[in-house]
């Protein structure tokens, strides 16, 4: 009798295991297939990205060599190839170089468009913010204050890589549009900031002293110095040579 019970119990266990197998084996199979597809997808994406980076690097290097040889037409073609073939990082750099060529040719609207395109190409602020900042500087003297603020305010947030430079540009824009009080407040914050570059702090000191002396009109030289001072940036594109701020 005991043998009969054991046999029945074994058959019940067998049936239970079969039901579990029928239930879970398809699920496990799907998981394994998904994992395999994901692994193959990652491998393919990584290979493609490496290939695009290599092609972008080669074309970008040719563009830079052409620039050094003062062959802007050849440089432009190489940078266009970089934008077409390269990964996002090289696209951002190449678009900024194209924008620099447009500035040299006095084609400011084209330069702004190219800098904007570069800024939208990457979600990494280290790559995108320098391009967005340069576009904002190019429209400082012509665009309404609201447009300038819309461009610079996100860049001026504390954790952004160029926040001090963007805060300075915002202060200068507000000063140019007659908002002296708001501009002075921004310059004071730059004076007191803990991670403000020395040249920005120096210009802020001069700006506050000049505003307090009632000679804010003399700040044009400071504004020009700020616009021409190239902030640290990855692959800065044909940035103007920095000049020392005017002493008042």
Cβ proximity of 185 and 221 under 8 Å: no
Identify the domain boundary among 86, 116, 142. 86
Q: Are 112 and 67 contained in the same domain?
A: no
pLDDT tens digits, residue range 141-174? 899 999 999 999 999 999 999 999 999 999 999 9
CA dihedral 9→13→16→22, nearest 10 degrees, is -140
Q: Are 9 and 76 contained in the same domain?
A: yes
Q: Are 81 and 114 contained in the same domain?
A: no
Q: Are 209 and 175 contained in the same domain?
A: yes
Domain that holds residue 82: 1-86
Residue that is written with structure tokens 């170089």 in the block: 97
Residue 23 falls inside a structural domain: yes
pLDDT band of residue 10 (cuts 50, 70, 90) is low
pLDDT tens digits, residue range 98-108? 999 999 999 99
The whole-number pLDDT of residue 4 equals 42
pLDDT tens digits, residue range 52-63? 678 888 989 999
Dihedral sign computed on CA atoms, order 243, 90, 92, 154? negative
Q: Are 145 and 181 contained in the same domain?
A: yes
Dist. CA 10–CA 5, nearest whole Å: 9
Q: Say yes or no to pLDDT of 44 above 90.
A: no
Q: What is the pTM of this model?
A: 0.70
pLDDT tens digits, residue range 187-231? 999 999 888 999 999 999 999 999 998 876 666 666 666 666 656
Number of domains in the chain: 2
Residue 92 falls inside a structural domain: no
For 1, other C-beta atoms within 10 Å of its C-beta total 5
């Amino acid at each position: 009798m005991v043998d009969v019970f054991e046999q029945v119990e074994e058959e019940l266990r067998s049936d239970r295991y079969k039901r579990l197998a029928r239930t879970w084996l398809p699920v496990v199979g799907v998981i394994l297939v998904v994992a395999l597809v994901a692994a193959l997808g990652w491998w393919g994406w990584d290979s493609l990205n490496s290939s695009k980076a290599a092609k972008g690097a080669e074309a970008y290097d040719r563009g830079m060599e052409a620039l050094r040889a003062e062959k802007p037409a050849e440089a432009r073609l190489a940078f266009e190839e970089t934008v077409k073939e390269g990964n996002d990082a090289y696209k951002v750099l190449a678009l900024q170089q194209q924008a620099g060529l447009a500035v040299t040719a006095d084609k400011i609207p084209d330069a702004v468009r190219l800098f904007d395109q570069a800024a939208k190409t990457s979600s990494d602020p280290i790559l995108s913010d320098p391009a967005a900042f340069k576009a904002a500087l190019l429209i400082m003297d012509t665009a309404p204050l609201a447009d300038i603020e819309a461009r610079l305010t996100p860049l001026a947030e504390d954790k952004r890589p160029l926040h001090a430079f963007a805060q300075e540009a915002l202060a200068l824009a507000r000063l140019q549009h007659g908002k002296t009080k708001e501009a002075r407040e921004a310059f004071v914050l730059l004076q007191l900031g803990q991670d403000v570059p020395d040249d920005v702090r120096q210009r802020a000191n001069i700006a506050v002293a000049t505003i307090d002396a009632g000679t804010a009109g003399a700040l044009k030289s400071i504004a020009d110095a700020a616009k021409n001072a190239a902030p640290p940036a990855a692959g800065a594109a044909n940035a103007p040579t920095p000049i020392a701020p005017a002493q008042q």
